[in-house]
Amino acid sequence: MSFLKALLLAIVATLVITWALGVSLIELFNVSLYVEQQQIESWTAVSVAALIAVIVAIVTAAILVSVFGFVIFVLLSLFVALAALGIGLFWPVLLVALAIHLLTRERNVAGQQT
């Protein structure tokens, strides 16, 4: 599953769960919300809470991707640098080992078993 698809599913699930549970609890406990002496309808209050939850989820996903992306980039860069360093230092040894292997290996001649 791609990251974007998973993020969209998480946002939709957050909205549905927040709205359903929020409205249910507000209706169940008969809670009245007031802002500046005006009563706010339950779905409006829950919508604001759901919007805040979605914003927090998006910010969290952005931080998560940037942190792990940075860590993966650093680790891959370190691996490539060490591989290049190893090849740069040991290429003469590798070349001599390859030459010895090619010169001293047994050759299969057609019709002979080894």
Average pLDDT over the chain, rounded to an integer: 80
The pLDDT, as a whole number, for residue 96 is 92
Domain range for 7 is 3-85
The per-residue pLDDT for 112 is: 62
Q: Is residue 101 part of a domain?
A: no
Instruction: Return the SS3 of 33.
Output: strand
* Cα separation of the two ends of the chain: 52
Distance in angstroms (rounded) separating the CA atoms of residues 28 and 8: 30
Q: Report if residue 96 sits inside a domain.
A: no
| pLDDT of 93 strictly over 80 | yes
Looking at the domain assignment, is residue 100 inside a domain?
no
Q: What is the pLDDT of residue 79?
A: 93
> What is the total count of domains within the chain?
1
Q: Cα separation of 58 and 76, whole Å?
A: 27
pLDDT recorded at residue 109: 61
* Residue 33: strand pairing partners: 40
111 in a structural domain: no
pLDDT band at 114 (very low <50, low <70, confident <90, very high): low
